[in-house]
Structure 1
Amino acid sequence: MSATAKIFPHPRNAWYAAGWDHEITSRAPLARTIAQRPMALFRTADGRPVALADACWHRLAPLSLGTLVGRDEIQCPYHGLRYNPAGRCTAMPAQETINPSAMVPSYPVVDRNRFVWVWPGDPTLADPELIPDMSQMDSPQWAGDGLTIAAQCNYQLILDNLMDLTHEEFVHGSSIGQAELSESEFRVTHEGDTVTVTRWMLDVPPPPFWRKNMRDRFPDFEGTVDRWQIIHYQAPSTIRIDVGVARAGTGAPEGDRSQGVNGYVMNTITPETDRTSHYFWAFMRNYRLESQSITTQLRSGVERVFGEDEAMLTAQQRAIDANPDYEFYSLNVDAGGMWVRRILDRMLRTEDASEGAGSTVTPALRVG
């Protein structure tokens, strides 16, 4: 796969966020397509998440249109077949004998860090230790909230966007962008399935978003700041961005952030199809934790910023589809994103080699 491919395929042997934990309930199933696999998601009466293929064994009616019955079963809306969390049929209303082949795939699923994670690939490889680190989401030392974007683009375009934040100068000029983004140096490191991009901007004027946040914590704040952006990528599609500003010259680059405000922009992107993605994001902060007002204001502000990204990514995907013979090219600011593509390419090649060797993927297990 070319490192500048415009429609990048997604690995299947990986954990993806299927939804916020509050979206998956024991009241009704939720339909969601994860890595091109339609799933019906629900919880058992004791709260365990379940992810089944969204197609009944009998006539492929969507199970997500069905009902939850008993303590842990889902009933097909068409002819009433029932399935347990392992995907095995437990009842066929029209006959006493249950066909032993009557089952649907059950995908490994785990509750963690306010998300429900699903593994759409080979279930024997579904190690919960591989779930991306999103620990700020439910840590008592951080507060915040987020939303979901139904992004009309390939998931890799979102990763490209998040790995190179110089676009803020041009796309988000009224909120978080400033000329110093393009002018500042950055450092890229990589190890295993992770990539880190580090950028510092010293003694610069704070853009409007950060000026407001500084004054939320320090009402008398005036002057310049030292600003940082430290992007942490973890395969296949989770990016946590350590961001913030501190009063210029007070030691933030050396590790003392006490005279500033620190946030984490949490992003995990789940491919739906080749051209659509579920983009889960949140903004978490480690100051004024008690203030619901600040949480709401930050979520609304970041939502507006990400709305600008969404419009650009949608337009980019349309341009890609309209110009199939055009190539992608790279600039030096794309270094982090290029390492991301190399890691994903390695994952895809490993999957292809495994399938070529005769591996059979038959999801039928739940991890949790």
Structure 2
Amino acid sequence: MPSLNATTSTTNKTLGHPLNAWYVAAWDHEVTKDSLFARTVANRPLTLYRTDEGRPVALADACWHRLAPLSQGHRVGPDEVQCPYHGLRFNSAGRCTYMPAQKTINPSAMVPSFPVVERHRFVWVWLGEPTQADTSLVPDMHQMDSPDWAGDGSTLAVEANYQLLLDNLMDLTHEEFVHSGSIGQTELSESDFEVTHDERTVTVSRWMLDIEPPPFWLKNMRDKFPGFHGRVDRWQIIRFEAPSTIRIDVGVAKAGTGAPEGDRSQGVNGYVMNTITPHTDRSCHYFWAFMRDYRLDSQLITTQLKDGVTNVFGEDDTMLAAQQRAIDANPDYEFYSLNIDAGGMWVRRLIERMLAAEAPAGTAS
């Protein structure tokens, strides 16, 4: 276990959001050819749509003329949007193609157009320096569209800074207290864990051996192995990828059958997929899914898992919103960190480095 022998404090309760990074703006099915989709990402209102060829586009949601929201307008032509106020039209590059009552188009008439990539069932947007928009930096969420995994997810609007949700996901000992009726158990806070990291990732690994399965995992074992009873080996391997994506490799297997050594054949394995997009400084969009590698053809299990995880995350949502309100009400109070916060502290450190790299020369991070 990481050795943080003394309780430490920090006034850095929440961090800003790097802009030279990929954030999910929407699920792929939310962005269409026929309509405009509004979404605020990192305090930047966007309008999203697809061209006639199906390519996703993200423009600033403010017309060049009088800043009317383009998302309230219409799709026109092969790749254009029309402002709802005075009818100006802009193509997918953000350049104005039509102005009412005049033949000459002002050459400065443009709105920002942001790099977009479609991957892992999501539409990702880059709000920072366009020349740095490297698609190889899109976080790995391959289980979302792999034929070896099945599942579904949703989006939560969380009234809390995105960093508080990252803290929540990097330390799952809170399950013992917040989710005691479903996935929580005392072994979570009693077990050792290991933290590793590099320049873009942080991994927290925890194994709980020879324990009673909590209700959620007992049901899943019985979905795959009808009539199962007995003790299990349980794992949680949390992998953060900067700036705000966390995949959690979770599951249980019959105790003593070799799961810690890599044999999970007598168990059930899931991936909790999480990517968090800042909305404002005090709210975020939480895109999540639960993917599994068993009974892939069962829509019933997919629906049951989605409903169950929705209830679990609803409990997190309530706690995080209350935490944000307490932070706002107590600006002079500090945060304190325990051993269990080691993974989250490394996440904060990586985000701080990204923010420092974006800071203008000569300014303090």
Q: Under a length normalisation based on structure 1, what TM-score does the superposition of the two structures give? A: 0.95
1:49 aligns with 2:63: no
- Residue by residue over 1:293-316, the C-alpha shift from the partner in whole angstroms, topping out at 9 and shown as x without a partner, is 000000000000000000000000
Give the CA deviation at 1:220: 2.0
Residues 1:307 and 2:314 aligned together: yes
Q: Does 1:194 align with 2:201?
A: yes
Which of these residues, 89, 96, 101, is aligned with residue 89 of structure 1?
Answer: 96
Decide which of 244, 257, 267 is 2:274's aligned counterpart: 267
Q: Do the aligned residues in 2 keep the contact of 1:3 with 1:341 (CA within 8 Å)? A: no
Decide whether the 8 Å contact of 1:175 with 1:208 is kept in 2: yes
Of 336, 343, 347, which aligns to 1:336? 343
SS of match in other structure, 1:329:
strand
Matches of 1:94 and 1:57, distance apart in 2: 16
Deviation at 1:93, TM superposition (A): 1.7
Distance 1:355 1:167 in 2: 40
The answer to whether the 8 A contact 2:10-2:334 is kept is no
1:221-260 superposed matches below 5 A: 221-260=228-267
DSSP-derived class of the 2:152 partner:
strand
> 1:147 and 1:4 mapped to 2: Cα distance?
33
5+ residue gaps, structure 1, are: 357-368
Give runs of ≥4 in structure 1 deviating > 3 Å.
353-356
TM-score by length of structure 2 reads 0.96
- 2:50 maps to 1:32: no
Shift of 1:7: 2.8
Distance of aligned partners of 1:354 and 1:44 in 2 relative to their CA distance in 1, 3 Å threshold? farther
- Aligned residue pairs, count: 356
1:128 maps to which of 131, 135, 157: 135
- The amino acid across from 2:153 in the alignment is G
Q: Are positions 1:138 and 2:145 aligned together?
A: yes
Separation in structure 1 between the aligned mates of residue 310 and residue 10 of structure 2, nearest angstrom: 30
2-structure distance, mates of 1:136, 1:111: 15
1:354 Cα deviation after fit? 5.6
> Whole-Å Cα distance in 2 between the matches of residues 159 and 355 of structure 1?
29
* CA drift at 1:353: 3.9
Q: Name the Cα RMSD after superposition.
A: 1.2
Q: Distance in 1 between matches of 2:51 and 2:242?
A: 30
Q: Secondary structure at the match of 2:216?
A: helix
Stretches of structure 2 that go unaligned for 5 or more consecutive residues are 1-8
Q: Could you tell me whether the CA contact under 8 Å between 1:3 and 1:342 is conserved in 2? A: no
Alpha-carbon distance in 2 for matches of 1:20, 1:176: 27
